[in-house]
C-alpha cells in the first residue's frame, strides 16, 4: 500500500471549482461548513452547532464536549452505517472515486450512476444496490471496471477507504461553503490529498510547504506551561499548588480546542504583526490539529504538543480576553471553584 502525497497547501488555490466540480454533491446529512477564522467562544455563542470544525465543542470553563462536537459525531455515525453496509454497496460508493480501468484510453476518474438518487434523498425511497454490470453515465463502462482493483481487498482495508470517502465528501462541503480564501485553499489541498489517497489506496501524507513534520517548535506549549508551573509554584503548599495545576490543565485544554482566527482577520485586527509566520502556523494547525478532529483519516496532533512559544504568543491575548469575558457573562452557570480559577488566577 502506497502513501499518497501532494503539493502543499501553498500551491492549490486557483482551481477550486474545477477539481471539486468533478465530484457529486455530498450527502445532505453531512454537517455544513464552518464559520472559519473565529475563536471557539464566539462560534459557540453564535449557536453554530453544525460547524465544520471543533469550535463549538468548548464549554465556558475550557473543557470540551468532544472533538468536532455534533459535526464529528454525525460523521462517525455515517461511517459506521456505511461500514456495516453490504459489500456491493461499499463497492458502489468507492467506485464513484475510482478511475476506470476498462481500457488505457479511458480517462474517466469516477463511476457516475446513470440513475442518480434525488437531491436531497427522499426518505420514502429504498436504497437500491447497484449491480456491478451497471454502466457509468460518463464513460459507459461497467461499475466493475472502476472497482476491479478492489476485488481481493479485505473488509478492513475497504472500511478504511470508505472512511476517507466520507472525509472527502465533508471537505467538499467545506471547500464550497468556506468564504475565507486562505482556509478554502487548505481545505481544497486536503480534499485533493484524500481523494488521491483513495485512487492510490495509500495513506494521506501532507507534503510541499508543510513538509516539516510535527512538532514544529520545542519546547512545546504543554512543556513550557508545565515547566513554568513547576518553576514558579513548586514552593506553594500542596492545596494551592494543585489549584495552579488545575488552571494550567484548563488553559492547555482551552488551547487544544481553540479555533484560530484566519490570517485575513488577524491582518485586519493586528496590521503590524508578522502575518506570514502566523499564516504558516495557521495552515499547519488546520492540517494537523483542526481538520483531523472531524476527518479522522488524517493523523491528529494536539495543538499544545506540536506548537510552541510562537503560536502561544499569537493567540494568548485574544484567548485570555474572551475566556474572561465569557466567564463573567456566564458566572452564574460556572461552578464557584472554576469561576475563581479563571477570574482570579488566570495569567496576564
pLDDT bin (cut points 50, 70, 90) of residue 46 is very low
The answer to the question of residue 168 being in a domain is: yes
Average pLDDT for residues 299-311, to the nearest whole number? 96
For residue 181, tell me if it sits in a domain: yes
When pLDDT is cut at 50, 70 and 90, the band that residue 323 belongs to is confident
Residue position matching grid coordinates 476517507: 164
Residue 330 pLDDT grade (very low, low, confident, very high; cuts 50, 70, 90): confident
Whole-number pLDDT of residue 297: 96
Mean pLDDT throughout 244-250? Answer: 88
Percent of the chain with pLDDT over 90: 54
Evaluate whether residue 109 is within a structural domain.
no
Pairs from 93-97 (Cβ < 8 Å, separation ≥ 24): 93/162, 93/165, 94/147, 94/150, 94/158, 94/161, 94/162, 94/165, 94/198, 95/143, 95/146, 95/147, 96/23, 96/24, 96/165, 97/165, 97/168, 97/195, 97/198, 97/199
Rounded Cα distance, 90 and 18, in Å: 26
Q: Which of the residue ranges 56-65, 94-103, 179-188, 275-284 would you say has the lowest mean pLDDT? A: 56-65
Residue 225 structural domain = 1-98+147-348
Distances (CA, A) of 121 to 25, 27, 124, 127: 12, 8, 9, 10
- pLDDT, position 49: 35
Supply the mean pLDDT for the chain: 79
Q: Is residue 127, in this structure, part of any structural domain at all?
A: no
Residue 117 lies in a domain: no
Enter the C-alpha cell of residue 217: 517548535
Average pLDDT over residues 116-140: 77
In a domain, 218, yes or no: yes
Give the pLDDT of residue 180.
Answer: 96
Which pLDDT score is estimated for 222? 98
Residue 159: the pLDDT is 97
Q: Is the pLDDT of residue 126 over 90?
A: no
Residue in the block written with cell 490570517: 263
CA distance 123 to 71: 21
Query: Regarding predicted confidence, which is higher, 6 or 329?
Result: 329
Does residue 329 sit within a domain? Answer: yes
Structurally, the chain folds into a number of domains equal to 1
pTM > 0.85: yes or no: no
Residue range 155-160: mean pLDDT, rounded: 96
Instruction: Read off the pLDDT of residues 13-25 as tens digits, 9 standing for 90 and up.
Output: 333 333 333 444 4
pLDDT digits (tens, 9 = 90+) for 195-223: 999 999 999 988 766 668 899 999 999 99
Instruction: Give 117 or 69, the one with higher predicted confidence.
Output: 117
Averaged over 148-170, what is the pLDDT?
Answer: 96
Query: Does residue 49 form part of some domain?
Result: yes
> What is the full DSSP assignment across 198-241?
HHHT-EE---GGG-SPSP-SSS-HHHHHHHHHHHHHTTS-HHHH
Residue 242 clears pLDDT 60, i.e. is over it: yes
How much is the pLDDT for 209?
A: 61
Q: Which residues touch 152 (CB under 8 Å, ≥6 apart)?
A: none
Is 80 exceeded by the pLDDT of residue 339? Answer: no
C-alpha grid cell for residue 179? Answer: 468564504
Cα separation, 226 vs 54, in Å, equals 25
Residue that wins the pLDDT comparison between 13 and 240: 240
Q: What is the pLDDT of residues 226-239, one digit of tens each?
A: 999 999 889 989 98
Q: Which of 213-227, 267-281, 310-324 tops mean pLDDT?
A: 213-227
More confident residue, 27 or 311: 311
Amino acid at each position: 500500500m502506497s502513501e499518497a502525497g501532494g503539493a502543499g497547501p501553498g500551491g492549490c488555490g486557483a482551481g477550486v471549482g474545477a477539481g471539486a466540480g468533478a465530484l457529486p454533491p455530498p450527502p445532505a446529512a453531512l454537517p455544513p461548513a464552518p464559520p472559519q477564522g473565529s475563536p471557539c467562544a464566539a462560534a459557540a455563542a453564535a449557536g453554530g452547532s453544525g460547524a465544520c470544525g471543533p469550535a463549538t465543542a468548548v464549554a465556558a470553563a475550557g473543557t470540551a464536549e468532544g472533538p468536532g462536537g455534533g459535526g464529528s459525531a454525525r460523521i462517525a455515525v455515517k461511517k459506521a452505517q456505511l461500514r456495516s453496509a453490504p459489500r456491493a454497496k461499499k463497492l458502489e460508493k468507492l467506485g464513484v472515486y475510482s478511475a476506470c480501468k476498462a481500457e488505457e484510453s479511458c480517462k474517466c476518474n469516477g463511476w457516475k450512476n446513470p440513475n442518480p438518487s434525488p437531491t436531497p434523498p427522499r426518505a420514502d425511497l429504498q436504497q437500491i444496490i447497484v449491480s456491478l454490470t451497471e454502466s457509468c453515465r460518463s464513460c459507459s463502462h461497467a461499475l466493475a471496471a472502476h472497482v476491479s482493483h478492489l476485488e481481493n481487498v479485505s473488509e478492513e482495508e475497504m472500511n478504511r477507504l470508505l472512511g476517507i470517502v466520507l472525509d472527502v465528501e465533508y471537505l467538499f462541503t467545506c471547500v464550497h461553503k468556506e468564504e475565507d480564501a486562505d482556509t478554502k485553499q487548505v481545505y481544497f489541498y486536503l480534499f485533493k490529498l484524500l481523494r488521491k489517497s483513495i485512487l492510490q489506496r495509500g495513506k494521506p501524507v501532507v507534503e510541499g510547504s508543510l513538509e516539516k513534520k510535527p512538532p514544529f517548535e520545542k519546547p512545546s506549549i504543554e512543556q513550557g506551561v508545565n515547566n513554568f508551573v513547576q518553576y514558579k509554584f513548586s514552593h506553594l503548599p500542596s492545596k494551592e499548588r494543585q489549584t495552579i495545576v488545575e488552571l494550567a490543565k484548563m488553559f492547555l485544554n482551552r488551547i487544544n480546542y481553540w479555533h484560530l482566527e484566519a490570517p485575513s482577520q488577524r491582518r485586519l485586527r493586528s496590521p503590524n504583526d508578522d502575518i506570514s509566520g502566523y499564516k504558516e502556523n495557521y495552515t499547519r494547525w488546520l492540517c494537523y490539529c483542526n481538520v483531523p478532529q472531524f476527518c479522522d483519516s488524517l493523523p491528529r496532533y494536539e495543538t499544545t504538543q506540536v506548537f510552541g512559544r510562537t503560536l502561544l504568543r499569537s493567540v494568548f491575548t485574544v484567548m485570555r480576553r474572551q475566556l474572561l469575558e465569557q466567564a463573567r457573562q456566564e458566572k452564574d452557570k460556572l461552578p464557584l471553584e472554576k469561576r475563581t480559577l479563571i477570574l482570579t488566577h488566570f495569567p496576564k
